[in-house]
């Protein structure tokens, strides 16, 4: 089993009960925490920035409180800290897969996950577009489903 790097959307959903995908993140975390999970400087900084921004989180807190919350989260069992150990100029994905500025962070986090022999855990289905069909790195990405599959809805 490989360690999963939680992207900032997963961290925010996990920490904030008001997040639309809080329950999804909690369920995923409960089922997968024991296999190991990670944060990195980029996801930690983004967590504090977003958690202290009332435009994004209605019940946002001051940065100091967000740092305290982050400290509580990373103190949970099986956490690993991954340093930024690769350069953005050496990302492990084809440069042609980057088609917009919003993909740069995702590409870096996915590359860091590949470098660490782990996987990127995200709610963002769009990240899959960074991996060309047949990519050997498909296993380095786990998209957590946010919707109930159609079959399950019928019951």
Domain 4-147, CATH class in plain words: alpha beta
- What values do phi and psi take at 50, rounded to 5? -75, -40
Which residue reads 């409180």 in tokens?
A: 65
Q: What pLDDT is stored for residue 152 in this prediction?
A: 53
Under DSSP, is residue 77 helix (H, G, I), strand (E, B) or coil?
coil
Judge contact between 50 and 57, C-beta under 8 A. Answer: yes
Residue-wise pLDDT for 33-80, tens only, equals 999 999 999 999 999 999 999 999 999 999 999 999 999 999 999 999
pLDDT of 153 above 60: no
The burial class, CB within 10 Å (0-12 / 13-18 / 19+), for 88 is: exposed
Q: Where do the domains of the chain lie?
A: 4-147
């Amino acid at each position: 089993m490989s360690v999963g790097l939680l992207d900032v959307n997963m961290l925010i959903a996990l920490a904030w009960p008001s997040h639309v995908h809080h329950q999804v993140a909690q369920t995923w975390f409960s089922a997968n925490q024991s296999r190991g999970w990670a944060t990195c400087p980029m996801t930690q900084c983004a967590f504090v920035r977003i958690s202290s921004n009332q435009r994004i989180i209605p019940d946002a807190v001051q940065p100091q409180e967000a740092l305290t919350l982050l400290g509580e989260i990373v103190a949970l069992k099986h956490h690993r800290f991954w340093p930024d150990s690769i350069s953005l100029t050496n990302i492990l994905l084809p440069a042609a897969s980057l088609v917009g500025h919003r993909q740069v962070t995702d590409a870096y986090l996915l590359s860091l996950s590949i470098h660490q022999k782990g996987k990127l855990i995200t709610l963002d289905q769009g990240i899959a577009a960074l991996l060309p069909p047949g990519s050997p790195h498909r296993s380095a990405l786990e998209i957590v489903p946010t919707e109930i599959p159609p079959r399950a809805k019928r019951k």
